[in-house]
Amino acid sequence: MSKVVPKDWIGCPKKSYLIGRKFVAFKTPLDETFTKLKKTEIFTPNDVFDWLTKSKIKIGLWIDLTKTTRYYNSKEIINRGCRYEKIWCEGHGSVPDWKQIKTFTDIVDNFISECPDEIIGVHCTHGYNRTGYLIVSYLVNKMNFRVDDALKAFSDNRPPGIYREQYVIDLVHRYHGDINKHIIMKPFWTKPHQDDARHPNPKNDEIKILRNPSIRPEYHNHSNKRNDDPYHRREQNYHQFRYTEQPRNHIRFSESSNSHNHPVRIDSRNGHTSAIPHCRTEILHGDKVHKRKEADKRRFKEFIKKRRERRKLDRANDERGPYKTDHEQNYYSSHYRNHNSHNKYHRS
């Protein structure tokens, strides 16, 4: 009985050009048990080795990032004299965690120290998101790429690049890049009426390095300024990301809690306590406070980063700030007037 082919696998481009002069990304090969494929759609582990052999490139390390063993038998890789490593990555929108990044980095470092002239093949189901995330992380951590250049190097050699927004945002946030430089494109192979020639595969008899600035040697040094300006980095972290992501990162809601349930009006009695069961106030990092409140007959959560830096978000996480409500404005105005009159009274 034939196995089920992964979704969108057939139209997905098979392989990439050389990335960072060290990596080749490709979609997962399928063995002969997948019998419902046309001749032009067949892509087996042997096809990967034959393609690289024709390009006069030797692959010495094969890293499998899928969370299954049903696509092919790993013995096929080992029998070709290639080292096989398996890193179980979740996929389906789940970004690799720091343990998986460290595992990938250690495996690659050990291999490069032993076989510096051989190439590393990396694949997940389609060879884009998990594969791109870990390759980009390695380029930044070990080859001194800027994250923006590493993302461009991957997208240039494996078009259209990482196409899940969550992966790109996490990489840019982790390595202090500029989210405005990246256009996330929907994969063309998910559109059945478009021609695959928009992003052609490398020919089977050749592999080439695209000459783009992101893989030039001068980018592989410590002269870049990505960490030199702490103020600029702090401003990036606050301004460049959408406010749908920022509160989640700072507030860290628990998985079981609903951040919008049971809003209450915050006043002097409950503003700094958690005495009311459904009013949860969290103080984080000293000056960051999360409170829930009801205002103007709408439910908001309020993110207070500094004394004068507030953001209100509704149930859809749409930004409603920074601003003060009429009640707040009247309170601050009256407090200011009373404070001035009190000082005037004592001066007289």
pLDDT at position 109 is 97
Q: Is the same domain home to 289 and 206?
A: no
Dist. CA 107–CA 166, nearest whole Å = 25
Evaluate if residue 37 carries a pLDDT over 60: yes
Q: Which of 51-65, 82-96, 322-336 has the lowest mean pLDDT?
A: 322-336
Average pLDDT over residues 170-198: 74
- What is the token pair recorded at 278? 């459904």
Q: Is the same domain home to 276 and 180?
A: no
Evaluate if residue 191 carries a pLDDT over 80: no
Average pLDDT over residues 148-153: 95
Q: Percent of the chain having pLDDT more than 70?
A: 53
Q: Is the same domain home to 185 and 319?
A: no
Evaluate if residue 60 carries a pLDDT over 70: yes
Q: Would you name the residues annotated as active-site residues? A: 124, 130
pLDDT-derived band at 94 (thresholds 50, 70, 90) equals: confident
pLDDT at position 238 is 38
Last residue of a domain, one of 219, 249, 275: 219
Helix axes 98-114, 129-143, angle to 10 degrees: 60
Q: Is the same domain home to 80 and 208?
A: yes
pLDDT at position 313 is 57
Evaluate if residue 31 carries a pLDDT over 80: yes
pLDDT-derived band at 181 (thresholds 50, 70, 90) equals: confident
Range of the domain at 58: 23-219
At residue 6's C-alpha, the angle toward residues 85 and 154, to 5°, is 60
Q: Is the same domain home to 164 and 37?
A: yes
Residue 239 falls within a domain, yes or no?
A: no
Q: Is the same domain home to 263 and 135?
A: no
CATH number at residue 29: 3.90.190.10
Dist. CA 300–CA 303, nearest whole Å = 10
pLDDT at position 223 is 38
Residue 9 falls within a domain, yes or no?
A: no
Residue 48 CA, chain-centre distance (Å), reads 27
- The total of structural domains in the chain comes to 2
Residue 226 falls within a domain, yes or no?
A: no
Residue 346 falls within a domain, yes or no?
A: no
Residue 3 falls within a domain, yes or no?
A: no
Dist. CA 17–CA 154, nearest whole Å = 9
Q: Is the same domain home to 139 and 281?
A: no
Residues ≥6 apart with Cβ < 8 Å to 250: 284, 285, 288, 303, 305
Q: Which string of DSSP letters, residue by residue, matches 172-224?
A: HHHTT--GGG--PPPPGGGSTTS-GGGSPPPPTT-------GGGSGGGSSTT-
Dist. CA 328–CA 121, nearest whole Å = 59
Residue 308 falls within a domain, yes or no?
A: yes
pLDDT at position 346 is 46
Helix axes 147-157, 129-143, angle to 10 degrees: 130
